[in-house]
Amino acid sequence: MSRARTALVVAQREFTTLLRTPTILVLALGFVVVVGGFVLAAGTGGYLPLVLDLVAPMEILVPLLAFAFGYRAIQSDADRGELETIQTYPLSRLSFVGGVFLGRLAGLLPVVLVALGLSAGAVVFTPGDAVSVVVRHGTVDAPVLFLRFVTLTVLFTAVALAVAVAVSAAARSGREALAIAVVLVIALVLGFDATIVAALSGGLIGPDALGTLTALSPNSAYRGLVYTLAVGDVYTRSAPTPSLLAGTAGLTLWFVGALGVAVARVWRE
């Protein structure tokens, strides 16, 4: 069997496990409801405001959801001793980790996409305010901006899930996995940025270093890319936006690094 084929077999197994876990489904539903509710409450009337509205909730909720989907993926196999059986199959570590990642991603991404899709739907089909006697014209608002935002969010989701899979491979027990996951989510959502702010106000770093440093936190890298690519100068005006290169490099680094950690820690060859 080729590597890809074996990875797909593992992915199928992970995907089926997800579908059989009712708590995960409830969580997914909760995510969609929270995002949809937020958009309705904000009274969003366009794609650009929608993007601005959703950046913050997404960077908090997506890591949470990704960790819920992935933090015990490999660890639970180890717990039940199935990992030792799996090791007897002709299966490389990369195929196994890749398969686990893809299987979980196949469950996670649709949840994120459905939530975003429903939000866009709320903008398109918002009732009222239809004044047909007055001509409308194109503003800076465009669906393209939202498409870009969705793409960036998909990348961010993948990175967050990769980190979660790394946690599940590195942790030796369920309790340890939970602890690491909680610490990492807090670090992603608050810790990295708070540290950078503290370092900046403490004079440890200068403003020049911010471009690089913010790219090192996945959340800031994602946020930076959204403002650069999907929001643009209508909102950012004359503030310089983070460079594409730094943001992309930051996210790639986390993605590759996390999966690397998972491959290294899943079992010893």
CB of 128 to other proteins, least distance (A): 7
CB of 268 to other proteins, least distance (A): 28
Residues in region 159-218 near other proteins by CB under 8 A: none
Residues in region 33-92 near other proteins by CB under 8 A: 38, 41-46, 48-49, 52-53, 56-57
* Neighbour count for residue 24 (Cβ, 10 Å): 19
Q: Rank residues 66 and 177 by Cβ distance to other proteins and give the closer one.
A: 66
Contact 19, 107 (CB under 8 A): yes
Binding other proteins (rule: CB under 8 A), the pick from 26, 33, 140, 186 is 140
Task: Establish if 106 lies at the interface with other proteins (CB under 8 A).
Answer: yes
Residues in region 86-105 near other proteins by CB under 8 A: 102-103, 105
Contact 228, 241 (CB under 8 A): yes
| Gap between the Cα atoms of 126 and 58, Å rounded | 22
Span of 80-88, 106-114, 172-180, 196-204 interacting with other proteins by CB under 8 A:
106-114
Binding other proteins (rule: CB under 8 A), the pick from 67, 69, 96, 146 is 146
Task: Establish if 225 lies at the interface with other proteins (CB under 8 A).
Answer: no
Give how far Cα 243 sits from Cα of 37, 160, 221, 226, 231, Å.
33, 21, 10, 11, 14
| Gap between the Cα atoms of 269 and 264, Å rounded | 9
The count of chain residues that interact with other proteins, using the rule CB under 8 A, is 55
Q: Rank residues 34 and 199 by Cβ distance to other proteins and give the closer one.
A: 34
Neighbouring C-alpha atoms within 13 Å toward the C-beta of 263: 13
Give SS3 for 7: helix
* Neighbour count for residue 206 (Cβ, 10 Å): 9
Task: Establish if 30 lies at the interface with other proteins (CB under 8 A).
Answer: no
Give how far Cα 96 sits from Cα of 2, 68, 70, 251, 254, Å.
12, 20, 14, 22, 19
Q: Rank residues 5 and 172 by Cβ distance to other proteins and give the closer one.
A: 5
The token pair that represents 192 in the structure block: 């990295």
Footprint on this chain of other proteins (rule: CB under 8 A): 8, 11-12, 14-16, 19, 38, 41-46, 48-49, 52-53, 56-57, 102-103, 105-106, 109-110, 113, 126, 128-129, 131, 133-142, 144-148, 150-151, 154, 229-230, 232-235
